[in-house]
Chain A
Amino acid sequence: MRRTFLKTAAAGAAMFAAIGLGTAASGQDAAEFYKDNVIKWIVPYDPGGGYDEYSRIVAPYLEKYTGARVDIANMPGSGGMKGAVEIFNSPSDGLTVGIINGSAMVTNQLAEIEGANYKVGDYNYLGRIVADQRVMVASKASGIMTYDDLVANGSPEIVGATGLGGSTYVDAVITGDALEIDQKVVHGFDRSGDIRTAMLRGDVHAMWGSLGSALKGIESGDHTLILHGEKNPTGILEGVPSIYDIAMTMDDGERRVKILESWEALSAVGRPVAAPPGVPEDRLAFLRDAFQKAMNDPEFVAQAKEAKRGAQLCVWRRHGRDRQDGDRA
C-alpha cells in the first residue's frame, strides 16, 4: 500500500513539475476573442476561504490583461472535487478556467476515490500559486501548547477535517500515520471555518491547514502552532517542531521521512489554475500570458501583500519545484 502510494505520489508530483509555460506570443485572434467576452472562473469551495479570496483578488487583474470579464462561480462539494470535475467537463472554448486543490486532486485520483471523475494530467494549466506551508494548530481550549503535549497527554486527539478528499483530511491521515500520532480524525465539516468554530467550542482539538488560513487564529491567540511540514522553517515557523525532525527520532526514521517527503511533494503541487482539456493552443497561450502578467502586476503584488495573506502565497513560480524527492522515491 505504502509502496504504491509513494510511486503514484511521485508520478503526480512529476506531472506537476512538468507544468511549464507555453510560448508567451499570443495570436491576435485570441486577444480579439477574449475582448469583451466572459471568462467563468470556478472556485471549488465556498466563498470566504483561501481559494476564494485569492481568486477574487486576482480576477480584476486577469480582466485587465485579457480584456474579458471574469465571473467567479463558487462550486463547493466533495472536498473540492465537484468544482474540479466541473472545470474538467467544461466546454473547451477557453472561457472556463478555475483554481483547483492540486495535491488533494492528485491523491483522490490515485486513491480512486468516488467522485474523482477527472484526470489531473489532462487539464491545461495556466500556472499555479505557490504551495501552501502546511501547519497543524491546536486550540487553546484543548490545553495543548506544544507537540510534546499532544503526545504526552495519553488520550487520542480529535483532529477535524472537511470532506474525505480535502487536504485537511489527507494531511491529518498521512502525517498521523507516519508519526503514529494517537488521533481520531473527524471529517464531515462543511468548510475549514466550521472546524475552527468546533475548535473554539472544544469539540475538536487540532486541525491541519495552510499557514495563510491559520495565521488569523494564531495571532488572536485562539490557536497554537504545534507542528509544520517544512524542512527549512522560516519566520513564524522557526522553533516549532517539523514533522521531519520528529520522524528522524523514531525508529525506522528514514522510511517515515520518505513517506512524508512524498506527502510534501504533493502539497507542493499547490493551487493550480486550470482550464479543461482541448482548449485551442493560441487561446491557451494568451491566457497563460495574461495570467502571468496579472500575477506580476505591481498593483496586484502590493494588494496581495496588504491583504496579509502573505505575498509569498501569491508569487508566481515559473518552474515549480527545486527538489527531486518524488523521482527518487
Chain B
Amino acid sequence: MTIIEGMTSGFFQSISFSVFPYLFVGSLFGLIIGVIPGLSGHFAMAMAVTFLYTMEPTSGIAFILGAHATVAQGGGLTAILFSTPGTGQNAATLLDGPPMRDKGEAGIAVGAAMASCFLGATFGAIVLALLIPVLREVVLFFGPPEVFVLAFLALTFVAVLGKEDMTRSLIAALLGLLLAMIGVDNVTNTHRFTMGSERLADGLQLVPVILGLFAVAEMIDLWVRGGSLAKGVPQALSAKDTQMQIFKGIGLAFRHWWLVMRCSAIGTGMGLIPGLGSAPASFVAYGHAKQSSPDKESFGTGNVKGVIGPEAANDAVEGGALASTLAFGIPGSSSMAILLSGLFILGLETGPQMMNQNVDIVFVMIFTIIIGNLIGTIVGMFLVNPLSRATSIRASVMVPVLISVIATGAFAGERAIFDIGVAVVFGILGYAMKVLNYSRAALLIGFVLGFAVEKNLYLALLLDGPFFIAQPIAAGLALVTVVFLAWNVWTIYRDRKRVIPND
C-alpha cells in the first residue's frame, strides 16, 4: 500500500459510519476528562482502553486516540476560567489565561486557546505524516547526552518565563529540581529526602503538585481577597458577548499564524524526544512567544500570545510523541504506552510492520487527531458559556465547590489521601510564592525536568564517559543553550540600563 493510498483509505475510514461515532464519543469523553482538574490524558486513555475489547481496530483507535487528543483542549478551558490547570500540559496557560479573564476577555482567551489547540494538533499530525519515510532515523537522533542537554536548554527558559525577576526564578527552578529528587532514586535505590515516609519514597506525583501550586494557591488567594474569580468584571458577560469574543479569539489565533507554527514546531519537536513530556513543551513555547514578541512587558498580564503559544504546543506534542511510538513500537510517554497496550488488545502490531503493511491505520490515527480536535473546538465553544458564568459567582460559594473538585482530582491519580495533603502543602507554598513574587512556573518546570535531567545525565556518563558533552550534536545543543542564556542575561542587563535613567 502506497502512502497516498493509505492516506485516502485512512481518511475515508475515519469519517465512515463505523468509525466516526466512536471518534465523536471519544473526543467528547477526552474533553470532559480534560475539563476536570487532575484527570489527564493518561487517565482518559486508561479508562478508554477498558471499552476496547469488543471494538473493531479502526473504531477502537479512533476512540482511544480521540479521547487523548482533546484532553489538553478541555484542560485549557479550566485553566483560563478557573485558574486551575485541567491537566499538567495546561500549566503554562495559567500565566496569561486567567489575567485575560480578569480583564473580561475570557471568551477571547478561550477562543484563541481552542483554535490554537486545533492548529497545533493539525501541525503535529501533518509533521508525523511527512516524517513517515524517515521516522526511524529522526527518533534515533536523540540519545541520553542529547536529551540531557535539551532538558537543560528547556530549563534555561525559566529565565524568561515569568514577570518575576531572574534571581527569584532561578531559586524557584532549583527548588523544583530538588523536589524532583524526593523518593527512591531509580538508579541506586537510595532513599532521598523521604524522612522515613513510605509515601514519600514514591516521590511526589505531578498532578497534586500542580494542583497545589496553582489551583489551591488561587483558592487561598480568592478566599483572602473575596469577590469572584473574574476580578475586573462586575457582571457575567452575556451569552452573545461571549460568543462574539470566542470568534474574535479564534480570529486572533489565525492572525498570529506564524507564532502558532513556531510554537507547534517546538511542541512537535519536544514530543519526538523520548522522555521530555508535554508540560515542558508548553513552557518552552511560552518562553519563545514572550522572547520573540515586541511587547514582552505585557506577558503575564493577559497577552493573548501567552495563551496561543503554549496551547498550540501542548497539542502539537501528540504528533511527535506518536511518531516514536509508531516507528519502533516503543512508547515515548506513559500515555503512548497505554495506546500501545490498546493497539495490542485490538490485535495490531506496531513498529516497522505497521509502517509497511498498515499505513492506512497510521493515517486513521493522524486524521483522528485532527478531526478529534476539531470536534473538541466546536463542542468546547458551547461549554464556555455556562462555565464562564460560574466565574462571576462569589468566592464564598465558589471556593468550597472548587476545593472539593481539586481534592478529588488530587486523589484520583493514585487514589491516595496522601496526595490531597501534598496538594494542600503545595497550595500554601504556591500562595506564599505568589505573594512574595517567586515564579511558580519556574518551580514546576524544574520539578518536571528534574527526572529527565538526572536520569539522562547518569546514563550519558555511564555510556559515554565524562566528555559526552563534547559529542557533535550534544556540543551543538550545549552551545545553543549557552548563547540563549547569554543573550537573555544581556537583554536583562540592557533593559535595566534603559530603565534606570528614567527613574
CB of B223 closer than 8 Å to a CB of A: no
Main secondary structure of the interface of B (DSSP, over half): helix
Interface residues on A, range: 35 or more
A152 to B455, CA, bound (A): 32
CB of B415 closer than 8 Å to a CB of A: yes
A:32-60 near B, CB below 8 Å: 40, 46-49, 52-53, 56-57, 60
Q: Which of A40, A56, A85, A194 contacts B274 (CB 8 A)?
A: A194
Check if A47 sits within 8 Å of B334, measured CB to CB.
yes
Check if A197 sits within 8 Å of B189, measured CB to CB.
no
For residue A53, which residues in chain B have a CB less than 8 angstroms away from its CB?
Answer: 341, 344
| Known contacts A186-B462, A200-B328, A203-B144, A77 near B351 by CB under 8 Å | no
CB of B190 closer than 8 Å to a CB of A: yes
| Known contacts A78-B184, A307-B347, A113 near B334 by CB under 8 Å | no
Check if B330 sits within 8 Å of A56, measured CB to CB.
no
Q: Which of B186, B344, B345 contacts A163 (CB 8 A)?
A: B186
* Interface-central residue, A189, A193, A198, A220, by most chain B CB under 10 Å: A193
A85 to B187, CA, bound (A): 18
CB of B7 closer than 8 Å to a CB of A: no
Check if A56 sits within 8 Å of B463, measured CB to CB.
no
* Interface-central residue, A187, A197, A200, by most chain B CB under 10 Å: A197
Chain B's nearest CB lies how many Å from the CB of A93?
14
A-facing mask of B318-347, CB < 8 A → 1, else 0?
000000100011110010111011001101
Q: Which of A56, A165, A187, A188 contacts B345 (CB 8 A)?
A: A56
Check if A48 sits within 8 Å of B415, measured CB to CB.
no
| Known contacts A48-B338, A189-B459, A201 near B140 by CB under 8 Å | yes
Check if B330 sits within 8 Å of A188, measured CB to CB.
no
CB of A230 closer than 8 Å to a CB of B: no
Check if B274 sits within 8 Å of A47, measured CB to CB.
no
Q: Which of B190, B337, B459 contacts A114 (CB 8 A)?
A: B190
Check if B341 sits within 8 Å of A82, measured CB to CB.
no
For residue B101, which residues in chain A have a CB less than 8 angstroms away from its CB?
Answer: none
A53 to B349, CA, bound (A): 13
Interface residues on B, range: 35 or more
For residue A72, which residues in chain B have a CB less than 8 angstroms away from its CB?
Answer: 46
Check if B198 sits within 8 Å of A77, measured CB to CB.
no
A79 to B188, CA, bound (A): 11
CB of A196 closer than 8 Å to a CB of B: yes
Check if B184 sits within 8 Å of A77, measured CB to CB.
yes
Residue of A nearest to B460 (CB): A203
CB of A62 closer than 8 Å to a CB of B: no
Check if B351 sits within 8 Å of A114, measured CB to CB.
no
Check if A47 sits within 8 Å of B330, measured CB to CB.
no
For residue A197, which residues in chain B have a CB less than 8 angstroms away from its CB?
Answer: 139-140, 274, 324, 328, 330
Check if A188 sits within 8 Å of B187, measured CB to CB.
yes
A218 to B188, CA, bound (A): 31
Check if B184 sits within 8 Å of A82, measured CB to CB.
yes
| Known contacts A77-B184, A193-B330, A200 near B140 by CB under 8 Å | yes
CB of B396 closer than 8 Å to a CB of A: no
A49 to B353, CA, bound (A): 19
* Interface-central residue, B328, B347, B352, by most chain A CB under 10 Å: B328
Chain B's nearest CB lies how many Å from the CB of A313?
13
A40 to B324, CA, bound (A): 31
A307 to B347, CA, bound (A): 6
How many A-B contacts at CB < 8 Å in the complex? 118
| Known contacts A72-B46, A220-B352, A47 near B344 by CB under 8 Å | no
For residue B463, which residues in chain A have a CB less than 8 angstroms away from its CB?
Answer: 158, 186, 198, 203-204
A281 to B352, CA, bound (A): 49
CB of B288 closer than 8 Å to a CB of A: no
Q: Which of B187, B331, B341 contacts A56 (CB 8 A)?
A: B341
Chain A's nearest CB lies how many Å from the CB of B67?
15
CB of A182 closer than 8 Å to a CB of B: no
CB of A190 closer than 8 Å to a CB of B: yes
* Interface-central residue, A47, A53, A198, A201, by most chain B CB under 10 Å: A47
For residue A48, which residues in chain B have a CB less than 8 angstroms away from its CB?
Answer: 331, 336-338, 340-341
| Known contacts A77-B184, A115-B189, A197-B330, A82 near B202 by CB under 8 Å | yes
A196 to B324, CA, bound (A): 12
For residue A75, which residues in chain B have a CB less than 8 angstroms away from its CB?
Answer: 202, 414
CB of B275 closer than 8 Å to a CB of A: yes
For residue A79, which residues in chain B have a CB less than 8 angstroms away from its CB?
Answer: 189
Chain A's nearest CB lies how many Å from the CB of B49?
7
For residue B484, which residues in chain A have a CB less than 8 angstroms away from its CB?
Answer: none
For residue B330, which residues in chain A have a CB less than 8 angstroms away from its CB?
Answer: 193-194, 196-197
For residue B203, which residues in chain A have a CB less than 8 angstroms away from its CB?
Answer: 77
CB of B440 closer than 8 Å to a CB of A: no
* Interface-central residue, A53, A60, A201, by most chain B CB under 10 Å: A201
B-facing mask of A195-222, CB < 8 A → 1, else 0?
0111011011000000000001000100
CB of B487 closer than 8 Å to a CB of A: no
Residue of A nearest to B53 (CB): A60
Chain A's nearest CB lies how many Å from the CB of B352?
5
For residue B46, which residues in chain A have a CB less than 8 angstroms away from its CB?
Answer: 47, 72
CB of A14 closer than 8 Å to a CB of B: no
Residue of B nearest to A116 (CB): B189
Residue of A nearest to B416 (CB): A86
For residue B341, which residues in chain A have a CB less than 8 angstroms away from its CB?
Answer: 47-48, 52-53, 56
Residue of B nearest to A164 (CB): B189
CB of A175 closer than 8 Å to a CB of B: no
A113 to B184, CA, bound (A): 12
CB of A296 closer than 8 Å to a CB of B: no
Residue of A nearest to B454 (CB): A188
CB of B433 closer than 8 Å to a CB of A: no
CB of A148 closer than 8 Å to a CB of B: no
Q: Which of B187, B324, B331 contacts A187 (CB 8 A)?
A: B187
Check if A201 sits within 8 Å of B143, measured CB to CB.
yes
Check if B191 sits within 8 Å of A220, measured CB to CB.
no
A115 to B458, CA, bound (A): 20
B-facing mask of A159-196, CB < 8 A → 1, else 0?
00001110000000000000000000011111001101
Check if B353 sits within 8 Å of A186, measured CB to CB.
no
- 29 residue pairs from A and B, CB less than 8 Å apart: A47-B46, A47-B334, A48-B338, A57-B345, A72-B46, A73-B415, A75-B202, A77-B184, A77-B203, A82-B184, A89-B198, A113-B189, A115-B184, A115-B189, A163-B186, A164-B187, A187-B187, A188-B459, A190-B186, A193-B330, A194-B274, A194-B330, A196-B328, A196-B330, A197-B274, A197-B330, A216-B329, A220-B351, A306-B347
Additional A-B contact list (10), CB under 8 Å, known A52-B341, A163-B187: A46-B334, A47-B340, A48-B340, A78-B184, A114-B191, A115-B201, A194-B330, A198-B463, A200-B140, A204-B463
The 9 A-B pairs at the shortest CB distance, nearest first, are namely: A48-B337, A47-B337, A188-B187, A193-B330, A47-B338, A48-B340, A114-B189, A186-B462, A48-B331
